[in-house]
């Protein structure tokens, strides 16, 4: 009986993951279009909105408008839409319903029309409400009615990086031709001539918290001394055996986008890359594309 329950749970989880894997991952914003508009919009993904919304002004009900908005359902509305570049297009669509929206500004009723929106090669027909979005950053808002079943929104907006990248260490003001290594847990920096204040030469653990000064060098031969605090030690195992290295915290990243991360210190004189980036720098920030140059 227990075996059957476990098997059912595993099968259920497998189906869930398989279903999630079929969905396309979207960033918080994507370049999308509205069919027959010829316009590209910088569209905002909004999982908090039930329906999608398009910037529309100068609405005209063809054949004349009734006093109540609901009485215009079934009629054709003509409107002008505009993207973030200021490019405009006059469009027509059938009113299929009205939608009452409550927000911080109050309550308003909008016309709903069926439009094909999305990527130029992957359009999806959904209900879209028409409203004046002139004062909003995004003229096309993508709601749950577009996203459901087909898309997942990744709000982390991880950037893509190649197997080799030009990264800066802020404390050294040096650019390194850096190896990106998803197989490494930690980052590793070339460091020689280590000098520790009141060093205990018999037990590295006793030096944690002390100030260390070391010399680093990039691939162009530029050398700099860095002085910082020892944050810990790290046991590294590789094909050459095992060794314990000091860990320090440095600001590492693309120039102007550095962030603090732990780095182990190692004499990398005989290695091609004086800075190696591991998973503790990549995680939550970057995806690695090995085909990227």
In the block, which residue shows the tokens 């909008």? 110
CATH of the domain at 226: 2.40.70.10
Same domain, 164 and 283: yes
140 belongs to a structural domain: yes
Q: What does the block give as tokens for 169? A: 């260490």
The answer to whether the beta carbons of residues 125 and 251 sit under 8 Å apart is no
User: Rounded to an integer, what distance in angstroms lies between the CA atom of residue 73 and that of residue 94?
Assistant: 8
**Burial of 32 (C-beta count, 10 Å sphere; 0-12/13-18/19+):** buried
CA 276, chain centre distance (Å): 23
Give the number of domains in the chain. Answer: 2
Structural domain span for residue 167: 159-288
Same domain, 149 and 216: no
Asked which of 153, 187, 202 is the last residue of a domain, the reply is: 153
2 belongs to a structural domain: no
Same domain, 104 and 137: yes
126 belongs to a structural domain: yes
Per-residue model confidence (pLDDT) at position 103:
62
Asked which of 132, 153, 174 is the last residue of a domain, the reply is: 153
Label residue 21 by pLDDT band (50, 70, 90).
low
pLDDT at 1 over 60: no
Same domain, 145 and 236: no
Phi, psi torsion values for 234, nearest 5 degrees: -140, 130
The answer to whether the beta carbons of residues 112 and 127 sit under 8 Å apart is yes
Same domain, 89 and 64: yes
Give me the helices (H) in the chain, please: 2-21, 144-147, 279-282
pLDDT digits (tens, 9 = 90+) for 56-104: 999 999 999 999 999 999 999 999 999 999 999 999 999 999 988 776 5
Asked which of 153, 179, 214 is the last residue of a domain, the reply is: 153
pTM score of the predicted model: 0.54
Same domain, 146 and 45: yes
Same domain, 44 and 85: yes
The answer to whether the beta carbons of residues 148 and 97 sit under 8 Å apart is no
């Amino acid at each position: 009986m227990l075996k059957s329950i476990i098997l059912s749970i595993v099968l259920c989880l497998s189906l869930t993951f398989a279903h999630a894997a079929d969905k396309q991952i979207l960033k918080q914003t994507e370049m999308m279009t509205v069919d027959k508009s010829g316009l590209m919009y910088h569209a905002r993904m909004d999982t908090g909105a039930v329906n999608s919304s398009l910037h529309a002004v100068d609405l005209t009900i063809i054949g004349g408008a009734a006093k109540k908005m609901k009485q215009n359902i079934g009629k054709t509305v003509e409107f002008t839409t505009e993207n973030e570049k200021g490019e405009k297009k006059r469009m027509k669509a059938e009113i299929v319903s009205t939608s009452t929206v409550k927000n911080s500004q109050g309550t308003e009723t909008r016309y709903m029309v069926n439009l094909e929106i999305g990527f130029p090669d992957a359009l999806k027909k959904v209900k879209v409400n028409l409203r004046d979005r002139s004062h909003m950053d995004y003229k096309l808002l993508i709601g749950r009615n577009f996203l459901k079943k087909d898309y997942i929104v990744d709000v982390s907006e991880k950037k893509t990086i190649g197997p080799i990248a030009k990264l800066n260490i802020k404390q050294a003001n040096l650019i390194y031709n850096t190896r990106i290594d998803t197989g490494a847990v930690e980052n590793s920096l070339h460091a020689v001539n280590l000098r520790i204040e009141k060093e205990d030469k018999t037990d590295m653990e006793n030096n944690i918290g002390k100030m260390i000064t070391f010399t680093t060098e990039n691939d162009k031969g530029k050398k700099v001394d860095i002085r910082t605090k020892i944050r810990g030690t790290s046991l590294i195992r590789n094909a050459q055996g095992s060794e314990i290295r000091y860990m320090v915290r440095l600001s590492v990243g693309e120039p102007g986008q550095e962030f603090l991360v732990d780095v182990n210190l190692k004499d990398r004189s005989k290695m091609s890359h004086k800075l190696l980036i591991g998973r503790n720098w990549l995680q939550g920030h970057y995806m690695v594309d090995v085909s990227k140059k």
